[in-house]
Structure 1
Amino acid sequence: MGDMNAKVGEGEDKKCGIGKFGLGDRNERGDRLAKFCCANNLAIMNTCFKHHKRNLYTWKSPGDRYRNQIDYIMMKRRWKSSVLDAKTYPGADCDTDHILLTAKMRVKPTCTKQKRRSGKLNVKRLNDPTIKAKFKHESEQQFRNEAMNQNTSSETKPESLWVTCKTILTQTAEQTIGRAKRVPKKPWVSQEVLDLAEEKSKLRKQSNTPTQKQRYKELRAEIQRRIRRDKTTWLEEQCKQIKDFDATGKSKVMFEQIRSVKAKSTPTQQACIKDIEGKVLSESEDIMNRWKEYGGKLFEKPDKEVPALSMPKTPVEEVEPPPLISEVEHAVSQLKTGKSPGLEGVPAELIKSTGWYGLEALHQLCTSIWTSCEWPEDWKKQEFVMLFKSGAGVRGPQGMLQLQDHRTHQPYQQSSLDDHYTSPESKTGARTTRRTCCLQERTRNQRHVGMPSDTDGEDTWNR
Structure 2
Amino acid sequence: MKEEIDLWRQQIDYILVKAHFRNQIKDCRSYPSADLCSDHNLVLMKSSLRFKRVKKKPVKLKWELEKLKTEVLAKRYAHETDNIATIFQRGGVNEDWDQIKSGIYKVAQKIVGRTEPKNKRKWITADIIECIENRRLYKNSTDEQGKAECRRLRNLFNREARKAKENFLEEMCREVEENIQNGRTDLVYRTANQIF
Q: Partner residue of 1:190?
A: 125
Q: Judging changes above 3 Å, is the alpha-carbon distance between structure 1 residues 235 and 44 closer, same or farther for their aligned structure 2 residues?
A: farther
Offset of 1:229 from its aligned partner?
1.5
1:136 is aligned to 2:78: yes
Shift of 1:169: 2.8
Label 1:75 to 1:219 Cα distance change in 2 as closer, same or farther (>3 A): closer
Q: Among residues 125, 150, 153, which one is paired with 2:67 in the alignment?
A: 125
TM-score, normalization: structure 2? 0.51
The Cα of 1:141 is off from its aligned counterpart by: 2.4
In the superposition, the TM-score normalised over structure 1's length comes to: 0.26
Gaps of 5+ in 2: 1-13, 27-46, 52-56
Alignment partner, residue 261 of structure 1:
195
Whether the 8 Å CA contact 1:122–1:179 is kept in 2: the answer is yes
Distance in 1 between residues matched to 2:177 and 2:97, nearest whole Å:
43
2:144 paired residue number: 208
TM-superposed deviation, 1:118: 4.4
Percent identity over paired residues: 16
Amino acid at match of 1:132: A
1:54: which partner in 2?
Answer: none
Tell me, yes or no, if the aligned pair for 2:84 and 2:104 is still in contact at 8 Å: no
> Does 2:163 correspond to 1:229?
yes
Equivalent in the alignment of 2:4 = none
Q: Which residue is equivalent to 1:106?
A: none
Q: Is the 8 A contact 1:42 1:75 kept in 2?
A: no
1:102-139, CA deviations, whole angstroms, 9 ceiling, x for partnerless residues? xxxxxxxxxxxxx9774222212212223222212212
| Pairing 1:75–2:50 present | yes
Q: What is the DSSP-based 3-state SS (H/G/I as helix, E as strand, rest coil) of the residue aligned with 1:205?
A: coil
2:141/2:147 contact within 8 Å kept: no
After superposition, the Cα gap between the structure-2 partners of 1:200 and 1:182, relative to the gap in structure 1 and judged at 3 Å, is: closer
C-alpha distance in 1, partners of 2:133/2:78? 47
Alignment of 1:101-120 (within 5 A): 118-120=60-62
- 1:71-117: per-residue Cα shift (whole Å, max 9, x none)? x86139xxxxxxxxxxxxxxxxxxxxxxxxxxxxxxxxxxxxxx977
The AA in structure 2 aligned to 1:208 is E
Q: CA deviation at 1:226?
A: 1.0
SS at match of 2:50: strand
* 2:154 match: secondary structure: helix
Looking at structure 2, the residues matched to 164 and 254 of structure 1 have their Cα atoms a distance apart, in angstroms, of 47
Corresponding residue number in structure 1 for 2:6: none
Question: Against the structure 1 CA distance between its residues 243 and 122, is the aligned structure 2 distance closer, same or farther, given a 3 Å change threshold?
Answer: farther
Which protein is richer in helix relative to its size?
2
Q: Is 1:181 the equivalent of 2:121?
A: no
User: RMSD of the alignment, in Å?
Assistant: 4.8
User: Whole-Å Cα distance in 2 between the matches of residues 125 and 131 of structure 1?
Assistant: 7
CA distance in 1, matches of 2:189, 2:100: 33
**Pair 75,129 (structure 1): closer, same or farther in 2 beyond 3 Å:** same
The one-character-per-residue Cα deviations of 1:215-242 (angstroms, maximum 9, x if unpaired) are 6555433321211112233345556778
Verify the 8 A CA contact 1:122 1:178 in the aligned structure 2.
yes
Shift, 1:177, TM fit: 0.8
1:38-437, aligned counterparts within 5 Å? 40-43=21-24, 74-75=49-50, 118-143=60-85, 145-146=86-87, 150=90, 163=98, 165-200=100-135, 202=138, 205-206=141-142, 208=144, 217-236=151-170, 259-262=193-196
- Distance between the aligned counterparts of 1:218 and 1:142, measured in 2? 58
Kindly provide the CA deviation profile for residues 155-179 of structure 1, in whole angstroms up to 9, marking residues without a partner as x: x85x666555544333211111112
Say how many residue pairs are matched.
Answer: 154
Alpha-carbon deviations, 1:243-289, whole Å to 9, x = none?
99998x9x6x9876654432xxxxxxxxxxxxxxxxxxxxxxxxxxx
Aligned with 1:234: secondary structure? helix
Say if 1:118 and 1:223 are closer, same or farther in 2 by CA, change over 3 A: closer
8 Å contact 2:77–2:111 — kept in the other structure?
yes
Measured in 2, the distance between the counterparts of 1:244 and 1:180 equals 30
**Any idea what SS the aligned residue of 1:74 has?**
coil
Measured in 1, the distance between the counterparts of 2:65 and 2:49 equals 46
195 and 166 in structure 1: CA distance in 2 versus 1, 3 angstrom threshold: closer
Query: What 5-or-longer segments of structure 1 have no aligned partner?
Result: 1-30, 46-71, 77-114, 263-463
Q: 1:37–1:43: 8 Å Cα contact kept in structure 2?
A: no
Secondary structure of 1:173's aligned partner: helix
C-alpha distance in structure 1 between counterparts of 2:154 and 2:119, whole Å? 22
